[in-house]
Amino acid sequence: MSSSTSPAHADLTTQRLILRPWTTSEITAILTDTRSAHWADDFPADGDRVVAGLFDQNPAWLGAYGHRLIIERESGLLVGSIGLFWPPAEGIIEIGYGIVASRRGKGYAPEATRALTEFALTAPDVHTVSADVELSNPSSVRVLEKAGFHRWASTEENAARFTVTRMHLDRS
* Mean pLDDT of the region 43-68: 91
Find all residues with CB under 8 Å of 158, minimum gap 6, and list them.
Answer: 134, 135, 136
The number of distinct structural domains making up the chain is 1
Radius of gyration of the chain (CA): 15
Q: What was the pLDDT predicted at 10?
A: 78
- CATH at 91: 3.40.630.30
Question: Rounded to the nearest 5°, which phi and psi values hold at 15?
Answer: -55, -40
Q: pTM here?
A: 0.90
Q: Which domain holds residue 22?
A: 2-171
3-state secondary structure the chain: CEECCCHHHCCEECCCEEEEECCHHHHHHHHCCCCCCCECCCCCCHHHHHHHHHCCCCHHHHCCCCCEEEEECCCCCEEEEEEEEEEEECCEEEEEEEECHHHCCCCHHHHHHHHHHHHHCCCCCCCEEEEEEECCCHHHHHHHHHCCCEEEEEEECCEEEEEEEHHHHHHC
pLDDT tens readout for residues 151-165: 987 777 889 999 999
* pLDDT over 60 (residue 137): yes
- Higher pLDDT, residue 14 or 171: 14
Closest CA to 84 of 99, 63, 53, 108: 63
Average model confidence (pLDDT) for the chain? 90
Query: Is pLDDT above 50 for 1?
Result: no
